[in-house]
Structure 1
Amino acid sequence: MASLSVRIDLGSGNRIGPGKIELLEKIDASGSISAAGRAMNMSYRRAWELVEEMNALFTAPLVSPRTGGRQGGGTELTALGRSVVANYRTVEQAARDAARAQISELEAELAPLPSAAE
């Protein structure tokens, strides 16, 4: 089944796409950059580099440290981080909706996949 992937070029070589958005969502769910990276089979270093890149790209950080306590420290998405994720997902859905008919036409023209017996 065909799918549509959206990458938004923000100028000066900066972009945000499905991988970075997934990382933000996993950080939001886990409260941890390292856990989010592990869930994506990504090293902590790479996950941290992407977070630093995204934090520097916008007017305020998307991810910030969470103060420790009984449950220890961690990270969390800021209000701007949640807004970026929501806006990206809205753009992605609008693009899917707009391209649905054309994607169906492309799928109809695909050659059949070889069977496992061949």
Structure 2
Amino acid sequence: MRVGPLKIKLQLLCGDGFAMGPGKADLLEAIDMEQSISGAGRALGMSYRRTWLLVDEMNRCFQDKLVETLAGGGRERGARVTPFGHRVLAAYRAAEVEAARVGDSAAYAELIGMLLDEPRADKPQKPET
């Protein structure tokens, strides 16, 4: 998300991996809409394998599963975002909104006041040896 010239990317770490970030939040929303992990991947332009790996990583990084698969045929097959997954998604989206409020801070205003609109056209300087 952008706040003026500031790009905010809220990512939650779990060990060396990412438990949640903007892409995984979008994936959860797509799974909720499509009721299918593969359908969500198609909607987001992601490979089936990549989608499954992201879901697996999310499920392993939180106290409870965010997504569960439903085996069988008919209406009850596919995947769904669990109630816990909905809580995680809502909390993440709320944290994004709170993080965007940095744009209201005095430190942000001072920093933006020192920023140019575009980089100078100066040639890069050679590093001193």
1: CA distance between counterparts of 2:100 and 2:91? 14
Q: Which amino acid aligns with 1:66?
A: L
Q: Is residue 109 of structure 1 aligned with residue 123 of structure 2?
A: no
Q: Which amino acid aligns with 2:79?
A: T
Which residue of 84, 91, 107 maps to 1:87? 91
Q: Is residue 4 of structure 1 aligned with residue 46 of structure 2?
A: no
Q: Is residue 17 of structure 1 aligned with residue 21 of structure 2?
A: yes
- How far did residue 14 of structure 1 move? 3.0
RMSD between superposed Cα atoms in Å: 2.5
5 Å matches for 1:70-81?
Answer: 70-71=74-75, 73-81=77-85
Structure 1 unaligned regions, length at least 5: 113-118
| Structure-1-length-normalised TM-score | 0.79
Bigger Rg, which one: 2
Secondary structure of residue in 2 paired with 1:75? strand
- How far did residue 106 of structure 1 move? 6.3
Aligned length: 111
Secondary structure of residue in 1 paired with 2:8? coil
Structure 2 unaligned regions, length at least 5: 120-129
Identity value in percent: 38
Which residue of 30, 33, 38 maps to 1:29? 33
2: CA distance between counterparts of 1:38 and 1:13? 27
Encode CA deviations 1:14-53: one digit per residue, 9 max, x unaligned.
3221011111110011101111111211101110011111
| Structure-2-length-normalised TM-score | 0.73
- How far did residue 107 of structure 1 move? 9.6
